[in-house]
């Protein structure tokens, strides 16, 4: 899939597909390449652009509020997610985190309890070009834990019962592997952190991140008056 | 390279190397695998662990304050850095950002003006297992701009004169490619953002990130009294 | 003046005045006391409430964005504003800061360049009950500096040229007196702080304050997703 | 009491008292005035300075970590504390909050359970010049609630069982009066806020305040790398 860009307008289309807008009809060639310019039958130009992570956040079909690029980045930074990692994820949702991880070469198994949401997530992985490496499973990870073999490098949890999975993290993770729990709430984060300590994980920490945009206007420089609200706490822990 | 871990102690060694400590002498076998346990001649056990990003931050030889895992993560999240990306980096320093990017499958060309620092960075890339994909060049990127062909997906700048490189970003980046500038200072960030707008980059934003650890003690939950200081502003912009 | 409160509705009226709303007509007795309940001719009840600082922020006539209660509080906390203080203020605006200071027993001389704004501020001081102790002068403090005798305990500045007044702070303030500068911008705050150091003031600091509301919902506790934006930097310095 | 200041050194002394340091002996005259310069028998000069709020924070005898000037300021700003207010306070501690309130003309009744702490607080009120208006009572406010008549404008609570007092706030406060609860912990703040809503107080909010110092160095402007840690949450509510 590519982004077809005309000014502020962006559309997601694959090779061989058609785009119909008030700017005319555009047929995307089978051999299209990013960087090319395509024309509608009315002569309007669209730039062909490859998808990057933030485009996934903006264009994938949403089944809830997806994790924001900054929070995904924090998970990557704090855990060192990298190519070749085996990742076990719960609470797929829109699948933006899974797609980011897949695009950096990780092999992801992700669980989504809602069957319709899981279907959307599978389509999203197709669009993100990671259907081969991200396995979206319909189901509840907590109920499947006994079936899983372990050997994961990374465990990423965005579910209300994350603490129950954290309790099993020592069996699921390789030595040095990380668990990351995303939660909007203090209480859930506290529980995840306490369970992590209880089962012997190390480097347990919960961080809260406040991000603000700067305004660089003619009168001077200042943090934005708009403010950026809380998204979630991130709890990290590492297997011995 | 692997981490040899005994309680709180961690040592970096490769296959065939020797570790001498007060716990005895340990010879790392040529065919060592992560997850194994090795014994010193005194019978003390060390766990063999693969390196992850945060280990690079903790164990690479430093030639200055390296970029922190959280800031590296924010660069990745905001730009969607992924496998296959061609990255142009300036201000290598210790090389932790380059190593993170290399480990997620990006191909990185990074410039370091200080020849000794560049040598250390090259050794660090060896230790991080990314010497093949991260090309550390001794020199000043600003002076080399005319020699570079462009076609980069990502431009990451951690130098005082970043704005001069931002000015050339439209020629260096593919359509949809990102530039990310890290700077501790308001004035440098402002200059980078204003130049980015001036040369027609889109989605220009400077963000400031405040991260705090939570304390989950017996008396209750609260943000840490220790506080976490400012590291740097991150300025992002995207090529049309 | 009192607040006449009926549910979420609040009206400002003095003794002897009349309130006409869709709830009926209400005559405020000359001898009204806070805590009393008054009835309209339709039998609707209004509670009589004395004005407190936050009511001034909400009900005074605005000639611009008034300083927020939290920023006023920070000025008070950092400078120890107290009864008997002689305060010199510039940039009166709506006058909420002056009114707060007057209500805690300080004697305030405040300058407002805009004659209409100054008139509104004078009416506001009447409503706040501090017309006796807050002297609103129409004019530019910077131009009047040579006429002033000094001996102030506190200098509070909310003007673009605050640094010019800071330069004269050693002559204006008693030993141990404070200057406080409010500015939305980094550059103005920097200039005020550098001038403060240059003229020998001590304890020079510029602080930035981020305040967030907590949400205590059924699902858990978290910082508000609404975010609270930047208001201003506060620069403090003390006379030797 | 006055501060005797010589460079960075500050000593608290009253009229008629003596200061003995390595700079010599200094007798403070009975009729000393702030702004005067006094000399030791060795000819070293000390400046006489009146005490302001931040001096109380720095020089009063501590029986625990006193509330910081910024948090005191936030209580004042959010509640509009002013001259003539009747304040009921619990958890006196060092008494800095009570002293600030006393110095702005409020009449304060404050409870401290620890008899020794209460004695120190009484001496501190003498030093702060507010012994007439701040009544430090040894005892537990929660146990005394039935003895109190109400009619307070402000209720300030810095105790672990603040929620129990909040429950009685409607009886204790005048219409429009405020309760302010200071607590380091999420759980206590949550409880105070929920009880406040339960008993019908309005404008219930819990705020968290992050304050950072700015560094204005030669290389540029930035938030301090030192960071400022969490002090406490402030919960406010208002009586109907």
**D196-212: pLDDT as tens digits:** 999 999 999 999 988 88
Chain centroid, CA C136 distance in Å:
13
Tokens at residue C33, please? 């006391």
Residue of D nearest to C153 (CA): D52
C-alpha distance from residue D210 to each of A211, C227, D102 (Å): 13, 13, 27
Q: Is the pTM here over 0.90, yes or no?
A: yes
Measure Cα distances from B11 to B41, B55, B58, B69 in Å. Answer: 17, 10, 11, 20
Q: Which of D143, D140, D224, D235 is nearest to D184 (CA)?
A: D235
CA B204 centroid distance within chain = 22
CA C48/CA C36 separation, integer angstroms: 5
The alpha carbon of residue A240 is apart from the nearest alpha carbon of chain C, in Å, by 31
Q: What is the pLDDT of residue B228?
A: 64
Rg of chain A on CA atoms, in Å: 20
10-residue mean pLDDT profile of chain A (240 residues): values are 91 93 95 93 94 95 95 98 98 98 98 98 96 97 92 97 97 96 97 98 94 94 82 95
Nearest Cα of chain B lies from the Cα of D37 at a distance, in angstroms, of 40
Does D229 sit within 8 Å of B223, measured CB to CB? yes
- Nearest Cα to Cα of residue D216 among B230, C210, B185: B185
Helix residue ranges per DSSP H, chain D: 53-59, 69-79, 96-103, 115-127, 141-144, 162-166, 169-172, 186-198
Is D221's pLDDT higher than 70?
Answer: yes
Measure the CA–CA gap between A164 and A127, rounded to whole angstroms.
32
Query: Across the interface, do B49 and A175 touch by the CB < 8 Å criterion?
Result: yes
- Which residues in chain B have their CB less than 8 angstroms from residue D233's CB? 222
CATH of C2-50, one of 1.20.120.530, 3.30.930.10, 3.30.70.260, 3.10.330.20: 3.10.330.20
Long-range contacts of residues A29-36, Cβ cutoff 8 Å, at least 24 apart? A32/A2, A34/A2, A34/B174, A34/B175, A34/B176, A35/B174, A35/B175
Other CB atoms within 10 A of residue D73 CB: 27
pLDDT of D228 over the 70 cut: no
Smallest CA-to-CA distance from D165 within D133, D199, D134 is with: D199
Which residues, 6 or more positions from A216, have their beta carbon under 8 angstroms from its beta carbon?
Answer: B189, B190, B193, B194, B206
Please give the DSSP secondary-structure letter assigned to residue B61: P
Which chains sit next to C, with 3 or more Cβ pairs under 8 A? A, D
Residue C228 has pLDDT above 70, yes or no: no
Contact A186 C220 (CB under 8 A): yes
Of all residues in chain D, the one with the smallest CA distance to B216 is D185
The shortest C-alpha distance from B202 to chain A (Å) reads: 10
Q: What's the pLDDT score for residue B227? A: 65
Please tell me the distance from the alpha carbon of residue C186 to that of residue A147, in angstroms, as a whole number: 57
Which residues in chain C have their CB less than 8 angstroms from residue A226's CB? 227, 229
Chain A environment of C219 (Cβ under 8 Å): 185
Chains touching A by CB (3 or more pairs below 8 Å): B, C
Q: Using the predicted structure, report yes or no on whether residue B115 has a pLDDT greater than 80.
A: yes
Tokens of B194: 């204003």
**Do C175 and D34 count as a contact with CB atoms less than 8 A apart?**
yes
Among the partner residues C208, C220, C230, nearest to A185 by beta-carbon distance: C220
Closest CA to D219 of C49, B161, B185, C137: B185
Helix axes B96-103, B115-127, angle to 10 degrees: 30
**Is the pLDDT score of C7 beyond 70?**
yes
Alpha-helical runs (H) found in C128-214:
141-144, 162-166, 169-172, 186-198
Which H/E stretch holds residue A220? none
- Position A80 scores a pLDDT of 98
- State the smallest CA–CA distance between residue B53 and chain A in angstroms: 4
* Mean pLDDT of all residues in D124-150: 95
Distance from CA of D25 to the nearest CA of C (A): 22
Chain A neighbors of C188, CB-CB under 8 A: 220
DSSP H/E element including D82: none
Mutate to test the interface with B, among D227, D232, D233 (most CBs of B within 10 A): D227
Helix residue spans in C94-146 (DSSP H): 96-103, 115-127, 141-144
List, for residues C93-104, the tens digit of each pLDDT value.
999 999 999 999
Q: Tell me the percentage of chain D whose pLDDT exceeds 90.
A: 91
Q: Using CA atoms in the order A71, A77, A80, A82, what is the torsion angle rounded to 10 degrees?
A: 70
Distance of alpha carbon B206 from alpha carbon B189, whole angstroms? 7
Mean pLDDT of C171-180: 96
**Considering CB atoms only, which of C49, C77, C104 is closest to D69?**
C77
The per-residue pLDDT for D186 is 97
What's the CA gap between A121 and A137, in Å, rounded?
A: 10
Contact B177, A184 (CB under 8 A): no
Which residue on chain C is closest to A225 by alpha carbon?
Answer: C229
- Inter-chain touch A227–C231, beta carbons under 8 Å: no
Task: Name chain C contacts of A209, Cβ cutoff 8 Å.
Answer: none
Compute the C-alpha angle A194/A197/A198, nearest 5°.
85
Query: Furthest-apart CA pair in chain D: how many Å?
Result: 66
For D17, list phi and psi in degrees, rounded to 5: -90, 170
Contact B84, A112 (CB under 8 A): no
Are residues A199 and A193 in contact, defined by beta-carbon separation less than 8 angstroms? Answer: no
Residues of B in Cβ contact (< 8 Å) with D210: 210, 212
CB contact under 8 A, D226 and B229: yes
- Give D165's DSSP letter: H
Instruction: Judge: B222–D188 Cβ closer than 8 Å, yes or no.
Output: no
Position A230 scores a pLDDT of: 86
pLDDT average, residue stretch C120-135 = 97
**In this complex, do A176 and B50 lie within 8 Å of one another by their Cβ atoms?**
yes
The CA distance from C189 to the nearest CA of chain A, in Å, is: 10
pLDDT tens digit sequence for C36-84: 999 999 999 999 999 999 999 999 999 999 999 999 999 999 999 999 9
Q: What confidence tens digit (pLDDT) does each residue in C208-227 have?
A: 988 889 999 999 999 988 76
Which residues in B lie closer than 8 A to residue A53 (C-beta atoms)? 76-77, 79-82
pLDDT of residue D155: 98
Please judge whether A34 and B153 are an interchain contact, meaning their C-beta atoms are less than 8 angstroms apart. no
Nearest CA distance, B229 vs chain D (angstrom): 4
Distance, CA of A18 to CA of A9 (rounded, Å): 16
Beta strands in A79-167 (DSSP E): 86-90, 107-112, 134-138, 152-157
Look up tokens 């903006």; give the residue.
Answer: A58
> Which helix (H) or strand (E) element contains residue A130?
none
**Residues of chain B neighbouring D187 (CB-CB closer than 8 A):** 220-221
- For residues B105 and A83, is the Cβ–Cβ distance under 8 A? yes
H-helix or E-strand spanning residue A66: none
Question: Six-digit token pair at D180?
Answer: 């302010």
B to D CB pairs, distance under 8 Å = 62
> How far is it, in rounded angstroms, from Cα A19 to Cα A238?
47
Arithmetic mean of pLDDT, C150-174: 97
Residues shown for chain A: 240
Interface with chain D: mutation pick from B206, B214, B223, highest number of D CBs within 10 Å: B223
Per-residue pLDDT of A87-112, as tens digits, reads 999 999 999 999 999 999 999 999 99
Domain locations along chain C: 2-50, 55-238
CB contact under 8 A, B184 and D230: no
Closest chain C C-alpha to D8 CA, distance in angstroms = 10
DSSP β-ladder status, A221-223 and B2-6: unpaired
* Chain A residue set in contact with C, beta carbons under 8 Å: 184-188, 208, 210, 212, 219-231, 233
Across the interface, do B176 and A55 touch by the CB < 8 Å criterion?
yes
* Residue A147: how many other CB atoms lie within 10 Å: 7
Residue D227 has pLDDT above 80, yes or no: no
Q: What is the mean pLDDT of residues D131-160?
A: 96
Domain B55-238 carries which CATH code? 3.40.50.150
For chain B, the distance separating the N- and C-terminal CA atoms, rounded to the nearest angstrom, is 41
End-to-end CA distance of chain D: 41
**Secondary structure letter of residue A145 according to DSSP:** G
The predicted model gives C140-151 an average pLDDT of: 93
What is the structure's pLDDT at C227? 65
- Give the least confident one: A221-225, B43-47, B58-62: A221-225
Please report the number of interchain residue pairs, chain A to chain B, with beta-carbon separation below 8 angstroms: 197
In this complex, which of A187, A208, A219 lies closest to C185 when CB atoms are compared?
A219
Q: Residue D187: closest CA among chain B residues belongs to which residue?
A: B220
The Cα A177–Cα A240 span in angstroms is: 8
> Which has the closest alpha carbon to D142: D168, D118, D119?
D168
The beta strands (E) that lie in A65-201 are given as 86-90, 107-112, 134-138, 152-157, 173-183
Q: In terms of DSSP bridges, do strands D107-112 and D134-138 run parallel, antiparallel, or are they unpaired?
A: parallel
Q: Which partners does chain B have (≥3 C-beta pairs < 8 Å)?
A: A, D
Q: What is the pLDDT of residues B185-236, one digit of tens each?
A: 999 999 999 999 999 999 999 999 888 899 999 999 999 887 667 889 999 9
Q: Which residue of D has its CA nearest to C154?
A: D52
Output the CA torsion sign for A90, A95, A100, A104.
Answer: positive
Contacts of D222 in chain B (CB under 8 A): 184-186, 230, 233
Tell me the sheet residues that pair with A39.
A45
Q: What pLDDT does residue A226 have?
A: 77
Averaged pLDDT score across all residues of chain C:
95
**What is the average per-residue pLDDT within C5-9?**
91
């Amino acid at each position: 899939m590519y982004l077809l860009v005309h000014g502020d307008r962006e559309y997601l289309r694959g090779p061989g597909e058609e785009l119909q807008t008030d700017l005319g009809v555009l047929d995307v060639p089978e051999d299209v390449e990013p960087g090319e310019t395509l024309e509608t039958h009315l002569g309007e130009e669209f730039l062909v652009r490859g998808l990057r992570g933030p485009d996934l956040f903006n264009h994938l079909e949403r089944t809830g509020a997806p994790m924001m690029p900054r929070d995904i980045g924090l998970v990557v930074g704090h855990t060192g997610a990298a190519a070749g990692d085996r990742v076990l994820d719960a609470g797929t949702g829109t699948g933006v985190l899974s797609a980011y991880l897949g695009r950096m070469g990780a092999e992801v198994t992700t669980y989504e309890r809602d069957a319709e949401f899981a279907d959307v997530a599978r389509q999203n992985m197709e669009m993100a070009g990671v259907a081969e490496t991200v396995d979206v499973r319909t189901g509840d990870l907590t109920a499947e834990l006994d079936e899983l073999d372990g050997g994961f490098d990374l465990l990423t949890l965005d579910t209300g019962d994350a603490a129950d999975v954290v309790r099993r993290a020592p069996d699921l993770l390789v030595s040095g592997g990380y668990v990351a729990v995303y939660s909007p709430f203090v209480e859930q984060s506290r529980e995840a952190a306490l369970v992590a300590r209880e089962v012997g994980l190390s480097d347990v920490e919960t961080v809260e991140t406040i991000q603000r945009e700067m305004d660089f206007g003619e009168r001077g420089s200042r943090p934005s008056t708009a403010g950026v609200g809380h998204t979630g706490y991130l709890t990290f822990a590492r297997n011995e």
